[in-house]
Amino acid sequence: MKKIVPEQKISPVKFYFDDGRLKVLSEVNIKNSRDTENIRQALDAIIQQGNALIESLINSNCDKRLLESVTNIRKNLEEDTNIVKTGLMNISCSSISSQFEQELPSAINGMLKGFTASVHLYISQFPAWEQFVENAANTEFDRADVGTILSAADGLAKNLSQLEDHVDDNVPKSILLLRHAIESPEIFSKRAAFALLRTVENLVAKVYQYGAEFLDDTIKSVSKGTSSAISKATIIAILSFTVANAAQLSTVVVKIGEMHWMHEATLMIQRQLDAITR
């Protein structure tokens, strides 16, 4: 399994297990060391810009979705974590703001456009965002593909939220945040669809890596390490949920060379699950 399942890739969200509990991994953005001071100054200016915009939105009694969108971007910028997630939030904010453009004063519309443009310029300095954009541009989705991705993401979020003792609530919340950036299979951003698929891929990879070690020990009747942190029934439940939803993506991942591993690994995990649940 270690030879098949890759390390997690650049995406809005990555995951890890902490003493048997599945959590969202916090990452520090990698910056160009030559431009550190300029990047810091730009970030400070954008955060101030966001603060002024949030205050104006509060006073305007705008739709709460728009206020939440701007607030989330500001928060992610302040925490300086996962530039790809910030980029996707910014795309979503631009989409939401266009929906309410007629309802807002022209001054606030101008502030919104200025803020999202500033964020776009800021994230464009980061190698991770550039690589993500390039990967998304090289991927083709049709409506059926996006519908399949949405279904798998919804299923994972719903299933994992039922295992709150061993899955941090930020895991399903993060999946749903990305899922809601896609309006429907008919109306979608290629970057948003790719971000959701890549995040699901990372989740599947981490669960398979962790679960495969547990299952190998169980089958050999020498269960050690992971079994003390998480019960056999729980890891089987997490794996079963993941396998069921990952299997839905088989028609999508076969189109993307670097994701072919998911189909093969899903079949292997399913065989291991069958062996210990007979």
Q: What does the pLDDT read at residue 149?
A: 95
Contact 25, 16 (CB under 8 A): yes
Which of 109-113, 144-148, 186-190 shows the lowest per-residue confidence on average (mean pLDDT)? 186-190
Residue 32: left if φ>0, alpha if ψ -120 to 50, beta else—which one?
Answer: beta
**Distance between CA atoms of residues 267 and 30, nearest Å:** 36
Q: What does the pLDDT read at residue 234?
A: 86
Q: pLDDT (tens digit, 9 = 90+) per residue, 57-112? A: 999 888 899 999 999 999 999 988 889 999 999 988 988 888 888 889 999 999 99
CA 95 centroid distance within chain: 18
> How confident is residue 227, by pLDDT bands cut at 50, 70 and 90?
very low
Q: What does the pLDDT read at residue 212?
A: 81
Q: What does the pLDDT read at residue 223?
A: 46
Q: What is the average per-residue pLDDT within 226-242?
A: 77
Q: What is the average per-residue pLDDT within 175-202?
A: 85
C-alpha dist (Å) from residue 68 to 28, 92, 94, 250: 23, 11, 13, 35
pLDDT greater than 90 at residue 208: yes
Read off the pTM.
0.82
C-alpha dist (Å) from residue 156 to 5, 126, 153, 208: 19, 30, 5, 14
Q: What is the average per-residue pLDDT within 258-275?
A: 90
Q: What does the pLDDT read at residue 226?
A: 45
Strand, helix or coil for residue 197: helix
List the structure tokens of 78: 């302040």
Q: Where along the chain do its domains lie?
A: 33-126, 139-277
**Distance between CA atoms of residues 278 and 161, nearest Å:** 26
β-pairing, 14-18 vs 21-25, is antiparallel
